[in-house]
Amino acid sequence: MDVISVIRTKRDRQRLSDDQIDWVIDAYTRGAVADEQMSALAMAILLNGMDRAEIARWTAAMINSGERMDFSSLDRPTADKHSTGGVGDKITLPLAPLVAACGAAVPQLSGRGLGHTGGTLDKLESIPGWRASLSNDEMLGVLGDTGAVICAAGDGLAPADKKLYALRDVTGTVEAIPLIASSIMSKKIAEGTGSLVLDVKVGSGAFMKSLDDARELASTMVGLGTDHGVRTVALLTDMSVPLGLTAGNALEVRESVEVLAGGGPADVVELTLALAREMLLAAGLPDADPAKALADGSAMDVWRRMIRAQGGDPAAPLPVARETHVVAAPSSGVLTALDAYAVGIAAWRLGAGRARKEDSVQAGAGVQLHAKPGDSVVAGQPLLTLHTDTPEKFAYAEEALADAFSVSAPDTPFSARPIVLDRIA
């Protein structure tokens, strides 16, 4: 087998054979296929697609590139959630302890932010002392003791995806449904969860901009999970507007703690509860009541134990940025749009995200929203507050926000998009 014939097959719009797929994934993981060859193949896949059987084989080859975890020693059913990524998407933070408080074990292997979408690990690392990297034994220990763990995937899990994802990120080949579906599902299947709820984001702040593409991605992933014996369900959820009132690491931790304390923005609470219900159903715990676990403080108890178990101090003050800058409403009326992508780019430029894998992020940087679409605003009132340690970035962030919002006449009718747009099982 040689890599050039594999690239030519896909370049010429033909199916890759099982042998070609197994060989190329193995050879790339071992370093026998070069990055430039794999990036040519990834681009051919992005342009010419793969059918369901090719995607299934590609996913299986990525799972087989590394180890598989085993949670069978736990005395609770396992349930995991994965979001395809969005702006202000802090849902994992309240969700994992909430579902654990309702009786499931939640092994949440999470990632870092790259580009305009935030990463769960970056957010949690703003808590003083908290550690993302755990050995497999430590991970099982935290999961067994507290019911939930949020940590980085170990190097042994789907190593082919680790290499390929980093390569796609710098070669414009992220937004390919076969590659996204196989990337996410290889990690989740190798992780060994019994059930999985996918939060497939749709809208300007998501990888999938249209409902049709999101449906295609969701049904591909649900099919892959089901074929591997993982009970898998997907919710398609709105990402045209940022979730909640914050985008940025410590800012989002603060908002998540508000949700766990029984408050927080309505959209974050609604989506957290919707995903919790799906996870509990998929885990075989249909009678659990997540709204009660939020209200009675049991989810907050699990949060505190989970943070402490990973070296963090849940009571420590969170970092704040050195400088802030207010963006005011240009006129009075109804805020009718607040673009998720633009807010994500602004938060990233302020220092909340990284441009290259090796960059560090600012814990306090980000964007705070003072109004959401549908709210009435008065000319001159604060609409957004920008937070950063590097104030020379304010102008650069404001540039990203130039067309981010519209304020219409006070009597303009407005109907908000529902948060949950569809469910695919």
Q: Which residues contribute to the site for ligand URA (CB under 6 A)?
A: 84-85, 165, 174, 179-180, 183-184
H helices within 105-210, ranges in order? Answer: 120-124, 136-146, 159-169, 177-191
Contact predicate 368/384, CB 8 Å:
yes
CB of 94 to ligand URA, least distance (A): 21
Q: What's the rounded Cα separation, in Å, for the pair 115 and 348?
A: 7
CA nearest to 230, candidates 67, 68, 423? 68
Catalytic residues: 82, 161, 168, 183, 187
CB of 246 to ligand URA, least distance (A): 22
- CB burial readout 289-312, b (16+ within 10 A) else e: ebeebbeeebbbbbbbbbbbbbeb
Nearer to ligand URA, 165 or 303 (CB): 165
Q: What's the rounded Cα separation, in Å, for the pair 50 and 45?
A: 7
CB of 318 to ligand URA, least distance (A): 26
Give the pair of three-digit tokens for residue 138. 């430590």
Contact predicate 344/394, CB 8 Å:
no
Nearer to ligand URA, 117 or 368 (CB): 117
Nearer to ligand URA, 84 or 146 (CB): 84
Nearer to ligand URA, 181 or 347 (CB): 181
Q: Which residue is nearest to ligand URA (CB)?
A: 183
Q: What's the rounded Cα separation, in Å, for the pair 79 and 106?
A: 5
At residue 131, what is the residue type?
Answer: R
Q: What's the rounded Cα separation, in Å, for the pair 88 and 247?
A: 4
Nearer to ligand URA, 180 or 230 (CB): 180
Give the pair of three-digit tokens for residue 311. 């070296």
CB of 351 to ligand URA, least distance (A): 22
423: region left, alpha or beta (phi > 0 left; psi from -120 to 50 alpha): beta
Nearer to ligand URA, 87 or 338 (CB): 87
Q: What's the rounded Cα separation, in Å, for the pair 69 and 33?
A: 27
CB of 84 to ligand URA, least distance (A): 6
CB of 76 to ligand URA, least distance (A): 25
Under DSSP, the state recorded for 348 is: I
